[in-house]
Structure 1
Amino acid sequence: MKKQYIAMAVLVVSIIILSACGNTTDESKADANKQVDLNNTGQQIDTKTDENTTEDHDDASTVGNDEVVNERTKDDYLKKLNEMEEADRYGPAQSTTVELVEQETERYEKWDRELNEIYGLLKEQLSQEKMDSLREEQREWIVHRDETAKESSLNYKGGSMESLEYVATQAELTRERCYLLVAKYMN
């Protein structure tokens, strides 16, 4: 109960601070556009989309989920990615290593699902030539992501933090890749 009270207090203070800062959507978009320049390699990914993650839009409320996804713009996706990032940032903090690994695994899976959705949409938007190039870039990115996660986790080799560092690095690189794909390729 005490942990929930503390977490709620931290959340309220964070919201107040964000409100006081006047963080606008335009500033968030600018931050997102800065973040996408962090990585310039690629990944081949499964193009299945999760219909449950599709948000409804006021102008497309009568069409099916697939059509809503196809009508999303770069700004829509940047807004969604920013909201996902805020949820990560202000979500409840876990205290044990096992809980932290589970939390980071969920975070990685969430960002990976989003990356798959973005990639699937790009398959419909891009020309065959650009898609072929992106597919190769994505394959290289998978290798880069996994090698970077492994290298990072070796800092904790044999320790309880090794698996946490591996999945946390995968989650962070996947989050960055979502921003990059939207900024670089989406209309």
Structure 2
Amino acid sequence: MNNSKFFITAFLLVILIIGLSACGNSSDDKVSIDNQIEDDEISESTDTFSSEPPNNTDKEVSTENENLQEDSIEDTVSKIEARKKEFIEKLDNIQKELDALPEKKDSDEGVTNAMKNYYGISYEMYDKALNEIYALLKEKLSPETMDTLKTEQIKWIEQKEDTANEERKKYEGGTFENVAYYISTYESTKERCYELVNEYMTD
């Protein structure tokens, strides 16, 4: 009877020792896995923050910056280069053509019909030149400069018409009424052509 109690006690002790040993190994395994996860997370985060972009990415960014700088330089164009002399000569030649017209002599002598015809033609020729100049500026100047010019041009057109109508009213009802209008529009338009060339073109 005593022997059987001894064997039972010894058996229970053995089982207890084996159980404790197994628990210890399981705990060690769990600690080891947690450490690996932490190490992996640290490694991943380090890779994420310390990784450098490839060299070709740096080149692409640099190229994009250069292109943006070039675009901004182009966008700030406020004058057309090497066209001023060309257009001044064109405008001067218009006046030479007008001076050669048969109507010029009679106009200078004060013949009303000749004056009306001469200054009407003069206005049309300079108005055509003004449209050509404006179209070129619109094509070549930066949007910012062109916005400013557009505002100025609208004001100028209003002023040109107001001035011409005031001149016409001075002779309202008379034969010189339309002549006064044409003379005014011719002078204003011719002057505006030279202004645009001098202000927005270079030699």
Q: How does 1:49-128 map to 2 (within 5 A)?
A: 73-92=83-102, 93=104, 94=106, 96-128=111-143
Cα deviation, 1:19-67, whole Å, max 9, x if unaligned, reads xxxxxxxxxxxxxxxxxxxxxxxxxxxxxxxxxxxxxxxxxxxxxxxxx
CA distance in 1, matches of 2:161, 2:150: 17
Offset at 1:87?
2.5
- The reply on whether 1:170 has 2:185 as its aligned counterpart is yes
Partner of 1:66: none
Q: 1:142 aligns with which of 153, 157, 162?
A: 157
- Identity of counterpart residues, as a percentage? 40
CA distance in 2, matches of 1:143, 1:82: 26
- Gap change, CA 1:165 and 1:86, over 3 Å in 2: same
Contact (CA 8 Å) 2:116, 2:182: kept in 1 or not? Answer: yes
Contact (CA 8 Å) 2:168, 2:181: kept in 1 or not? Answer: yes
Offset at 1:99?
3.0
Cα deviation, 1:143-173, whole Å, max 9, x if unaligned, reads 0000001111222121100110001110110
Q: Which amino acid aligns with 1:81?
A: L
CA distance in 1, matches of 2:195, 2:125: 17
CA-based RMSD: 1.9
Q: Which amino acid aligns with 1:144?
A: Q
Structure having the higher Rg: 2
* Greater helix share, structure number: 2
Q: Which amino acid aligns with 1:99?
A: A
Aligned length: 118
TM-score when scaled to structure 1?
0.58
Q: Unaligned regions of 5+ residues in structure 2, if any?
A: 1-79
Q: Unaligned regions of 5+ residues in structure 1, if any?
A: 1-69
CA distance in 2, matches of 1:88, 1:102: 11
Offset at 1:104?
1.3
Offset at 1:120?
0.4
Cα deviation, 1:88-141, whole Å, max 9, x if unaligned, reads 234332364223212211111110000000000001121000001101100000
